[in-house]
Amino acid sequence: MRYTQLGRTGLKVSRLVLGTMNFGPQTDEADSHTIMDAALDAGINFFDTANVYGWGENKGRTESIIGNWFAKGGDRRDKVVLATKAYGNMSPDNSTVWPNHDKLSALNIRRAVDASLKRLQTDHIDVYQFHHIDRDTPFEEIWQAVDVLIQQGKILYVGSSNFPGYKIAQANEIAARRSGTIGLVSEQCLYNLAERRAEMEVIPAARDYGLGVIPWSPLHGGLLGGVIKKQVEGGRRASGRSADALADTAVRDRIQAYEDLLDKHGLEPGEVALAWLLTRPGVTGPIVGPRTAEQLASALRAVELELSEELLAGLDEIFPGPGPSPEAFAW
């Protein structure tokens, strides 16, 4: 495994991030523990989760699965850089949200941290992430709450998720005016070959302010994982977001061109999609969310994959980025 610093911090993390969103809804606890053991054995030390994972009636279930894994001992917790998130309400879907039980008020941040610590069976969270912007809570209040939690030893660093570039700037400018507040150290955003809008504002802002970029959905909901090839060879039909996307002829043609290009080079689509992200400036590591140990093994191979300039040019031709900002939208 290869490692890098998380943004401007001294924290060293693996170039792949283990995403746990499937733990509970898609993967049972025993298999989830097997995957986490395999990830740790492979050198992945950066684990990402969120308080709402488990979804529906089971929000918090994913954190509990991770907590039970930590409780097995073997220095599991000590070896892991643990990241979780807060913002959404923890009530079952379609139920009433009690006031102050969601978003980023100082009250809810305190409540959410304590609840996550209990489920995770740990005394601290390494990277505490805001899952979304809160349009109603000023950053002065958010940073005050963060300062208290850091002083209490409950969290060490703070990251953002799904923030636009201007909010990254706003958050860190306000943090800079507060003595001793380091500000955001990472941004978790939607970024992959097929969805490159983050290159316009989010990634430049993150790089300027020293945030590590942690892309989620690196395979774009499976669309970049060889979905057409799987249909042809195994009769496996696309579903969900992939099926909806492939219904668009232009999208299907691009995915077919992508798979044809990689077939020419003898490479696997999913592995190339991950390896491409590892070549992008500012990217710490993509989040991989395996449902099985086999999917984890495929992701691990991407770390050692070297992409030629010819292949990178071919990928840019199929999936052109938006270009630099502001030229991309102004000229």
Partner residues linked to 189 by β-bridges = 215
Out of 3, 53, 128, 191, the active site residue is: 53
Spell out the residues 6+ positions from residue 145 whose beta carbon is closer than 8 angstroms to its own.
106, 109, 110
Please answer whether residues 58 and 65 qualify as being in contact, where contact means their C-beta atoms are separated by less than 8 angstroms. Answer: no
Please answer whether residues 279 and 305 qualify as being in contact, where contact means their C-beta atoms are separated by less than 8 angstroms. Answer: no
Each as own residue / partner, the long-range contacts of residues 244-253 (CB below 8 Å, 24 or more positions apart, any chain) are: 245/220, 245/221, 251/223, 252/228
Please answer whether residues 34 and 1 qualify as being in contact, where contact means their C-beta atoms are separated by less than 8 angstroms. Answer: no
Active site residue 53: yes
What is the 3-state secondary structure of 138-157?
A: CHHHHHHHHHHHHHCCCEEE
Distances 306 to 245, 302, 309 between C-alpha atoms, Å: 29, 8, 10
Question: How far is the C-alpha of 54 from the C-alpha of 61, rounded, in Å?
Answer: 5
Please answer whether residues 42 and 11 qualify as being in contact, where contact means their C-beta atoms are separated by less than 8 angstroms. Answer: no
Spell out the residues 6+ positions from residue 292 whose beta carbon is closer than 8 angstroms to its own.
27, 31, 35
Known catalytic residues?
Answer: 53
